[in-house]
Amino acid sequence: MSGPVAIGQAAKETGIKVPTIRFYEEIKLIQPLVRTDGNRRQYEQADLRRLSFIRHARELGFDLDAIRNLLTLQDDPNQPCTVADGIAKARLADIERRIHSLTALKKELKVMIEGCSRGSVSDCRVIETLADHSLCVDDHNHGS
Amino acid sequence: MSGPVAIGQAAKETGIKVPTIRFYEEIKLIQPLVRTDGNRRQYEQADLRRLSFIRHARELGFDLDAIRNLLTLQDDPNQPCTVADGIAKARLADIERRIHSLTALKKELKVMIEGCSRGSVSDCRVIETLADHSLCVDDHNHGS
DNA sequence: CGCTCTCCTCTAGTCGCTAGAGGATATGGG
DNA sequence: CCCATATCCTCTAGCGACTAGAGGAGAGCG
């Protein structure tokens, strides 16, 4: 029932910061919108939904280009779903790659930290491991 | 035994790209170094080791600031190791947080993709899920 | 000598914002 | 009705960690 809201309220409702909303407008993720007499932006419910969509997609790690694609799809709901599906799948693959890589890093860091003698830097395993790649537990670069 | 090398060779040996090496010099991660008569940079073995250290630390996800700290420690090996240890531990915690978060994202994306009807966008679960946060499998934001 | 390759410096662009200056408008109380 | 404060406006510049490209100088080889 609530009518159009100002940018501050929109920020509150969507969890996107005010300057970020303006930035999204600037790069045309959201349409140039209606202003009040005093030149203030007004956000309708549909705009708020669009912003929430963007926020949620960002939280899932989609980049703005992917989001732009998804929004275009959403604007034209008779298009086939396969494009959205593809974007999401690419994202999933990327996330899986990253989890894999981070897990390897975690292992290496743990070994480093556990080997730390807490003496002086001269026999610190952390520094030493970083300095000499050949000490790595396993080489996460040959794995990708 | 090999003497000083040019930047291209240094790039090859350390796996850091030529412009990146120059960038590291600009931001003073590596010292202003000796040049040849023809104004070309020359890298000694010690420089190459420093660059490898940086690369390895970057691969482990340390930011340049953290690396700067670690390098300072390395330059002065009588300092206690606890600082390096702390930096590494903070990094580990960060990685664990990220793995956790990415795992939640992965779950959500999977549900989205599996629910995709492959029909038109109008009944695409991917779009729908993004549009309505309340459809999330679990809310990874309240978990942090 | 000419050819090519590598090197040099410099500027500008990437992504996704964030911060701040400097000014206009809106709202509520006295 | 006036003033204080809050919110808004536009604009420019900055962040991190590079990357790309222009335009020119030097190095090495046949």
Q: Which of B8, B118, B61, B3 is CA-nearest to residue A130? A: B61
Give per-residue pLDDT as tens, A56-108.
Answer: 889 878 889 989 988 888 887 777 778 888 888 888 888 888 888 888 878 88
Task: Kindly report which amino acid residue has its CA closest to the C1' atom of nucleotide C19.
Answer: A19
Helix then strand then coil, % of chain B, to nearest 5: 60, 5, 35
CB contact under 8 A, A130 and B89: no
**Positions in chain D where some atom is under 7 Å from a protein CB:** 7-11, 16-21, 26-27
Q: How confident is the model at residue B102 (pLDDT cuts 50, 70, 90)?
A: confident
Residue in A with minimal Cα distance to B103:
A99
Per-residue confidence (pLDDT) for residue B98, from 0 to 100: 81
List the A114 CA – C13 C1' distance (angstroms). Answer: 42
Task: Round the average pLDDT of chain B to a whole number and report it.
Answer: 82
CB contact under 8 A, B73 and A117: no
Tell me how far apart the alpha carbons of residues B108 and A57 are, in angstroms, rounded to a whole number. 11
- Give bridge partners of residue B80 from the DSSP assignment: A120
What percentage of residues in chain B have a pLDDT greater than 70? Answer: 86
What percentage of residues in chain A have a pLDDT greater than 90? Answer: 36
Per-residue confidence (pLDDT) for residue A144, from 0 to 100: 29
Q: Please report residues of A whose CB lies closer than 8 A to that of B126.
A: 70, 81, 84-85, 87-88
Q: Which of A142, A51, A63 is CA-nearest to residue B59? A: A142
Per-residue confidence (pLDDT) for residue A45, from 0 to 100: 94
Q: What is the DSSP annotation of A65-129?
A: HHHHHHHHHHHSTTSBTHHHHHHHHHHHHHHHHHHHHHHHHHHHHHHHHHT--SSBGGG-HHHHH
Give per-residue pLDDT as tens, B16-56.
Answer: 999 999 999 999 999 878 899 999 999 999 999 999 999 98
Q: How confident is the model at residue A38 (pLDDT cuts 50, 70, 90)?
A: very high
Q: Is residue B134 scored above 70 in pLDDT?
A: no
Residues B42/B36, Cβ–Cβ less than 8 Å: yes
- Give bridge partners of residue A80 from the DSSP assignment: B120
List the B144 CA – C2 C1' distance (angstroms). Answer: 66
- Reported ipTM: the value is 0.73
Region A35-44: mean pLDDT is 95
Which residues numbered 104-133 in B keep a CB inside 8 Å of some CB on A? 105-106, 108-110, 112-113, 116-124, 126-127, 130-131, 133
Q: Is residue A122 scored above 70 in pLDDT?
A: no
Per the model's pLDDT, the better-predicted residue between B138 and B105 turns out to be: B105
Angle, CA A43 vertex, CA A39 and CA A48 arms, to 5°: 155
Q: Which of B6, B63, B54 is CA-nearest to residue B29? A: B54
What percentage of residues in chain A have a pLDDT greater than 70? Answer: 86
Least confident among A17-26, A31-40, B84-93: B84-93
Q: Is B44 on the interface with A (CB under 8 A)?
A: no
List the A3 CA – D4 C1' distance (angstroms). Answer: 28
Residues A67/A54, Cβ–Cβ less than 8 Å: yes
Tell me how far apart the alpha carbons of residues A92 and A60 are, in angstroms, rounded to a whole number. 10
CB contact under 8 A, B121 and A96: no
Structural domains of chain A ordered from first start? 1-65 (1.10.1660.10)
Residue B48's CB is within 10 A of a number of other CB atoms, namely 18
